[in-house]
Structure formats: C-alpha cells, structure tokens
Structure 1
Amino acid sequence: MDYIILFVNALVDLSNAMAPYILFGLLFAGILHELVPDTIVKNHLGKNSIMSVIKATLFGVPLPVCSCGVIPLATGIKKSGASNGSTLAFLISTPITGVDSILATYGMFGWAFTIYRVLTSMVISIIAGILTNFYAHDEEEQKQELKKQSTAFSLSPNIKASSEKISFSTIQTPKKEDVECTEGGCCSTESCESPKSCIGKRVVSYAFGTLLKDIASPLFVGLLLGALITVAIPENLSEILVHYSWLSYIIVIIIAVPMYVCATASLPIAAGLMLAGVSPGAAFVFLSAGPATNTVTIGVVKKMLGTRTLYIYLGTIIVGSVLFGFGLDYLLRDVSVSELVHIHEEFGIVAWVSSLILWGFVLYYMGTSNNSSYSQREEREMKS
C-alpha cells in the first residue's frame, strides 16, 4: 500500500512538473504552424542534408523549452515537412539548453562549464541528425509506401461501386462565402467574421486537436513509467555513486535516460551530486542525458520517427554524454567547485490546473482511441 501511495504521489508530482511546459509547447507549436509557412520548413529543414540538421540544431538551442514541451514542437515541424534528421536534431538540442538554462548554468557553474554544455549538446544533436538522415530516412519512405499500398488495396473494391453512384447532381458549386472563408484559412464552417479569432481557433485546434491527439498514447505510458522509475530510484543515490565511482557513469545513464527532468531543474541535482563527491563528468552526464531523454520522448520518437531513429537517438545521446563526461573530468582535473546553488520549487495553482487539463485531454483521446479500435474489431468480426 505504501508503494502505491508513493507511485501516485510521484505521478502527481511528475504531471505537475511537465504539464505547464507541455501545454505551452502545444500552444507555441500551434502559433508556429500558423505563422511559419510549411514551405519555409521544407526548404530549410526538409532535405536530408547536413546543413538542414545544423539549422534545426541552431534553431533549437536558444528556445526555452524543456524535454516535454519540445515534443509538440518537433511533431509540428515534422508535419510541416522537416526531415527525420532535422526533427531529431531539434528534439535533442532544444531541451538540453535554452536561454533560461544557459543563464542558470552560468550562474551555478561559470562560463567555461556553460560553453562546454552548449557546444557538446550541439555536437550530439548534429551527429544524431546526420546519422538519421543517412541510415534511417529510408524507413520513413518504406512506411509511406506500405501506407499507400494498404490504402489503395482497401479502396480498390469500392472504386467501381462508388464511381457508379457519382452523378452530376451531386456536384455543387461552392457558395461565395464558403470560398472566401476557405481562402481566408478558417478551419470551420462558420463565416470568418474576424481573422484574428479565426487564427486563434486554428491554433487551438491544431495544438490540442491534431498534435495532442498524436502524442496522447505515448504520453500516457511515459507518465506512468516515469513515475514508476522515480519511485524505484534509491534515496542514497549519491552515496552509491561515490562508493562505486568507476560505475558512476553507467549508473547515471541508467537513471537519466528514462527519467524526466528539465534542463534548468537538472542543475541543482547535478550540483548536489558534485557536492556529495560525484565527479563533474558523471554529473555532466546527468545534465546532458537527463533533459534530452525521458520515457515520454522515447515513445514519441519511436512512433513519429521509427525504431531505427530511436536507436540512433538513444545511442548518440548515451555515447556522446559519456564521452563528453570523461572529457570534462579531464579538463577539470585540477579544478574544484566551491559554491553551488540549490533550487527547490513548490508547485503552484498553474501547475495543478495545467496537470488537470492535460490529463483530461489525454484520457479523452485514450478513450476515443480505444472505442475506435473496439468498433473496428467488431466490424472485422462481423465481416468474418
């Protein structure tokens, strides 16, 4: 019973920590979708080239978006035509850094550590994007080809029957107001009285309809797994890492990869590890791999970009974080950090309301998805 209470508390804390940033990311993605034409995204990020990966990385570095808020943004640019490599580079570089995190890192660890963190995150992102463009872009093409074949196969028996039913009486000339509304970009059957309100409707519809519906299932699973992992982490973690210093990198990676922690919030954790005697390199591994990955993002990457891209995503972050962690230990072998800042945040009303809103949408889409799959299964059984 105690473990159930701990799990529920961890799930509530995780939801409160993630929800405001996810909702902000959804709205930001909706705004970008309206303001940035798809052609710009396709022209700059749509090619399987090194330059498109570099552009996506540079675009993501300064954005103050965490590892959960970046999910809808990455989904949005992917839907707008970005390549798998560009999407993955953006997905990695954005949560590790950010203006807020860069300033906080500078205030806590100094300019050298800050520059090292920013540059290494860019290198990891670019390498992951390039590998994806070279080794995983054909996976998406195969998926699209299979989808086209299955769609053509499912429609072929009904083509003749449907074509016989078409008559000139069914073809209607669109009304003038409908044409004007469509040209204005209004995504509803109502007249576009106010262009601003029309844009607002499209932003909300795209953010909380299209994007959130796509990530609802992996988000649900990720929250549950993240809470479970949080409960399973021992309280004397720092003592274990100090005692087994030669295993500290591996232990930190095992914990950091599935755990949710944003770039700024990871700083006091890393500072606490260093104060407890853990090497700066091991603490850096947590700062790099922690914000870049979590159970939610892992599920979304697999669904959106494919299994091969997921392996590149995890492999690049793990190997890159460990190698750069060793490099930091070498650079700071004669340096000791004397003063570190510890930050503790209490969840306010915004976090609680955001969490309730997010869970409401997730459970709604999970329910509609289950009902849809159930009705499809019933339909197949009736046909058989």
Structure 2
Amino acid sequence: MILVRMLQGGIMELGEYLSAHVLTCLVPAFFIAGGIAALLSTAAVLKYFGPQANKYLSYGVASVSGAILAVCSCTVLPLFAGIYKKGAGLGPAIAFLYSGPAINILAIVLTARAIGFKMGLARALGAILFSLIIGLIMAAFFAGEEAQKKQRALNLAMFSGAADDRPGWQLLIFFGLLVAILLFGTAKIPLWSKVAILISLITAVALTVTRWFRTGEFQGWMQETWKYVRMIFPVLLVGVFIAGAIKVILPPAWISRFVGGNSLGANLLASVFGALMYFSTLTEVPIVKALTDLGMGQGPALALLLAGPALSLPNMLAIRNIMGTKKTAAYVSLVVVMATLTGMLFGTIA
C-alpha cells in the first residue's frame, strides 16, 4: 500500500511539475543558457565572473541576481551551467546558484506579510549572506581545481581572441528579451495579457536572430540549448518523482511534531527536509505558514525557508551532472549547516 501511495505521489508531483514549470520556466532558461554558451565570448564571462574580475563586482552581482530573476531551484540550473561551463569562477557561480531562487523579492515580501516582518527580514538578510559566504567557502575549498580551470579558460580566451566585434547593445537586447520571456512567463497576470506579451517578445527575439545573427550562430545556439536539456532535464524528472514519493510518507503534520522547539535536531531536520523537498516559487511560504500554525518553531521555520527554495532533490541530481559529486556534496552540506545554525540563532533571539 505504501509503495502504491509513493508511486501515485511521484506521478502526481511529476504531472504538476511538467504542467506548471517546464513551458514557462525551464524552456526559456534552457534557451538563455544555450545563448550564453553560443554567443557570449569566454572573455566576456571572465570579465565579470572570472579569475581576474573584481571580487566585489562578481560576488555582488551574483548575490543579488535572484531579486531580478525570481526563478526556482530547478530553473536556475541551466543558467548556472551556462556561466560555469563558460569559465566563471566557482565562488561567483555558486553565489549565483544559491541567490537565484533564494532572493526572490516577491517571496520575501510574502513571507513578511504571512509569517511576520522579522521572518521576512531574516530571510532576506540570510539569503544574501548565505550566497556570499557559501560562494567564498566553496572557492577556498576547491582552490586548486579551480586554479587549473581558470588558467584553461584564460588560455582559451587569449587563443580565441578576447575581442568580439558584435556590439554589446545587441547582446543586451537579445538576452534582455529572453529574460523578459522567463519573467512574464511566470508572472501572475491575466492569461490573455500574458499570451499577448509573450508573442510580442518571441517575435522580437525572432527579429534579432534574423537581423543580428551570423552564419551558423543560430544552429550553434540550438545545439548548446539541446546539450543543456540532455544534461539536466532527465535527472530533474527523476528527482521530482522521488521528491513526490517521499512527500507522501512525510506529511507536513508529521514533520511539525518534530520541529516545534529550537533544538539542534529540530533545526537540522527542518533544513534537511527543506533541502530534499521541491518547492515551486512562492509555495514554500504557505507551507511554512501552515507548519508554524501547527506549532513549528521560528528557528526551524527560517531554516526551512533558507534551505528549501535553494535546494531540492532534483536540483542536487542536476548539479552533480554539472560540477561533480565532491562539489555538490560540499555545496549541499554548507547550505544545510548554515541554515541549521542560522535557524538556531534566529529562534533564540526571535
């Protein structure tokens, strides 16, 4: 009976994910990642996120990127893969990976209104600091490996020529249109307005391709996009199915009984639960609100909010395909440990 329920839960979660996220979230993200790989020169990525980039600039931009993108933990993966494979340093890339889903302005405002101003403020500050600290620690942990990667990227940039005669404003408009498709595709606006806006944006992208792309660039864009789809999408589906199956046997009401205080165990359990479960954008707020109403402590609630949006089982499986097992394990461990400690601190002072 339990196996049947887990199977049903996995199928239902998978169906909901495919209907709610693939077309409006993942598809635009894959096209953006493919565009980064095909059109941006290595030198351009290295200028802002590479070994010679100003650390304040690279980490600063990466740590607040979520305020602009407002994507979920799975949608950010193709974007992360695009800049990481193109030569971005591990630290800034990880800061971007965490901040993308974590620093969602709408989610933070909703948290403040639904659960309390202090919780919203703690989530905002915690997410920004997490992205910076985790990025810096990851860069320090894997300094040797990253030094070799950075040197190869610099050599490639020098060999291929750092200069790109394409006007920067063309790339800005092209990627701006793609990001706009991602944002409006997930926006809570009337359907007909959304359709009209998306058709206009897609038409504009088609015009930029027709007028500005050189011979072979469109094919290169499609090839890079398909490469990221093959690398990330299958493991996402497996992870979403497993998360849905787990959710059936770990109902929120049961979890709340173990996270009612502010102990190390309660905060750790909330962090691990948040890290494993998949939360689509904004859904973590009503879930945590319901858990706090059932008696969940303030500390574990913040721990779940800091670990949940940035991680999920599908997210972990896909990250492993991008940067390997060791780096993925270190990243996940850092998020869980920092969420746990921050939750304990907040629970003590809240």
Taking structure 1 as the reference length, the TM-score comes to: 0.65
Q: Work out whether 1:138 is the aligned partner of 2:138.
A: no
Amino acid at match of 2:47: N
The alpha carbon displacement at 1:233 in A equals 1.3
The answer on whether the counterparts of 2:262 and 2:299 sit within 8 Å (CA) in structure 1 is no
Q: Trace 1:157-196 onto structure 2 (pairs within 5 A).
A: 196=209
Partner of 1:362: none
How far apart are residue 39 of structure 1 and its match? 2.7
Picking from 304, 308, 332, the partner of 1:290 is 308
Indicate which of 211, 222, 227 corresponds to 1:210: 227
CA deviation profile, 1:13-66 (whole Å, cap 9, x unmatched): 343344232223223434556776543321111128743333321334432111
Distance in 2 of aligned mates of 1:11 and 1:265? 16
User: Would you say 1:220 and 2:229 are equivalent positions?
Assistant: no
Letter in 2 for 1:267: V
Equivalents in 2 of 1:131, 1:267: separation in Å? 28
Structure 1 residues 290, 207: CA separation in 2 closer, same or farther (over 3 Å shift)? Answer: farther
1:63 to 2:66 alignment? no
Residue 260 in 1 paired to residue 278 in 2? yes
Do the aligned partners of 2:134 and 2:334 also contact (CA within 8 Å) in 1?
A: yes
8 A contact 2:38–2:221 mirrored in 1: no
Task: Please give the alpha-carbon distance, in whole angstroms, between the structure 2 residues aligned to 1:118 and 1:275.
Answer: 22
1:307 paired to 2:325: yes
Task: Count matched residues.
Answer: 288
Distance 1:256 1:99, change over 3 A: same
Q: Distance in 2 between matches of 1:215 and 1:7?
A: 19
CA RMSD of aligned residues (A): 3.3
Corresponding residue number in structure 1 for 2:85? 79
Q: Runs of 5+ in structure 1 lacking a partner?
A: 146-183, 186-192, 333-384
Aligned pair in 2 of structure 1 residues 266, 239: CA closer, same or farther (>3 Å)?
closer
In structure 1, distance between residues paired with 2:236 and 2:252: 26
Does the CA contact (< 8 Å) of 2:259 and 2:296 recur in 1? yes
Write out per-residue CA displacement over residues 202-239 of structure 1, whole angstroms, 9 at most, x where no aligned residue. 69615641321221342233223222222231353255
Contact 1:61 1:97 in 2 (8 A): yes
Alpha-carbon separation, structure 2, partners of 1:106 and 1:46: 36
Mapping of residues 270-285 of structure 1, within 5 Å: 270-285=288-303
The residue identity in structure 1 corresponding to 2:209 is: K
In the alignment, structure 1 residue 234 sits paired with structure 2 residue 251: yes
**One-letter amino acid matched to 2:343:** G
Asked if residue 326 in structure 1 is aligned to residue 344 in structure 2, the reply is yes
Does 1:91 pair with 2:93? Answer: no
Larger radius of gyration: 1
Change (3 A) 1:6 1:201: same
Equivalent in the alignment of 1:379: none
Give how far 1:280 is off. 1.2
- Paired with 1:202 and 1:212, the residues of 2 have a C-alpha distance of 15
Equivalent in the alignment of 2:184: none
Q: 1:7 aligns with which of 6, 10, 13?
A: 10
Q: 2:334 aligns with which of 313, 316, 319?
A: 316
Deviation at 1:92, TM superposition (A): 0.6
Task: Name the residue aligned to 1:249.
Answer: 267
| Aligned mates of 2:44, 2:149 — CA distance in 1 | 25
1:343 equivalent in structure 2: none
Letter in 2 for 1:272: A
Distance 1:111 1:129, change over 3 A: same
Q: Is the 8 A contact 1:63 1:99 kept in 2?
A: no
Offset of 1:326 from its aligned partner? 1.5
SS in 2 for 1:67: coil
SS at 1:257's partner residue?
A: helix
Distance in 1, matches of 2:123 and 2:89, equals: 26
Distance (Å, rounded) in 1 between the aligned partners of 2:33 and 2:225: 10
